[in-house]
Amino acid sequence: MNLVRALFHRRFIEAVRYPVEMVGGLVTFYVLFLMVFLGALTFGDSDVRTSDTLSAVAVGYVVFMLALASYQGFGQQLMQESAGGTLEQLAMSPVGLRRVLLVDFFAQVTINVLTIGVVVVPIMATTGRWLHVDLVSVLPLVLATLSGVVGVGLAVGGLYVVFKRLQQVAQIIGFTFVFLVAAPVFERPLLKLLPLGHGNALLRRVLVDEVSITELGAGEILTLLAVNIGWLVVGLVVFGTMERLARERALLGQY
Buried-exposed string 129-139: b where 16+ CB fall within 10 A, e elsewhere: bebeeeeebbe
**How many structural domains comprise the chain?**
1
Assess if residue 21 is contained within a domain.
Answer: yes
pLDDT, one tens digit per residue, over 85-121 is: 777 777 777 887 778 878 887 888 788 778 777 787 8
pTM of the model: 0.83
Assess if residue 229 is contained within a domain.
Answer: yes
The separation between CA 61 and the C-alpha centre of its own chain, rounded to angstroms, equals: 12
Assess if residue 225 is contained within a domain.
Answer: yes
Domain membership of residue 206 as a residue range: 2-248
Contacts of 53 (CB under 8 A, 6+ apart): 40, 44, 47
- The CA-atom distances, in angstroms, between 236 and each of 99, 148, 170 are 10, 11, 17
**pLDDT of 241 strictly over 80:** yes
Assess if residue 255 is contained within a domain.
Answer: no
3-state secondary structure of 129: coil
- Residue 79's Cβ-side half-sphere holds a number of Cα atoms within 13 Å equal to 12
Instruction: From 40, 202, 216, select the one nearest 129 (Cα to Cα).
Output: 40
Contact 141, 132 (CB under 8 A): no
Give CA torsion, residues 221, 222, 224, 227, to 10 deg.
Answer: 180
pLDDT, one tens digit per residue, over 145-178 is: 988 888 888 888 888 878 777 777 778 888 888 8
Assess if residue 254 is contained within a domain.
Answer: no
